Amino acid sequence: MRLRVEFTTEPFDLDEAPTHAVVAREVIQGAGLDAVDVGPFGNTAEGGADEVLTAVDSLLRRALASGATRVSLQVNVIEGEAA
């Protein structure tokens, strides 16, 4: 099964990316996922279920430990694609 994760971390800072946002992006970029797209207001990545779920676990733990007060995420099954 393939999954797509979309996430944001808060609080926002329009002048400079907060530490929690940088850490979350580093986790996703280093997780070996496909179609990684990071931006100032949202981030997405795709990959196999095990890889995405492992990355989400690390993302939540590390972003919260780095000062995030809220992490919003959505995980969707990518229809019609096999891992």
74 by Cβ neighbours in 10 Å (0-12 / 13-18 / 19+) ranks as exposed
Q: What is the pLDDT along the chain (83 residues), one digit of tens a residue?
A: 999 999 999 998 878 889 999 999 999 999 999 889 887 778 999 999 999 999 999 999 999 999 999 999 999 999 875 54
pTM (two decimals): 0.86
Q: 40: which residues sit within 8 A by CB, 6+ positions away?
A: 14, 17
Distance CA 49, CA 12 (A): 29
Q: 16: which residues sit within 8 A by CB, 6+ positions away?
A: none
Distance CA 32, CA 43 (A): 15
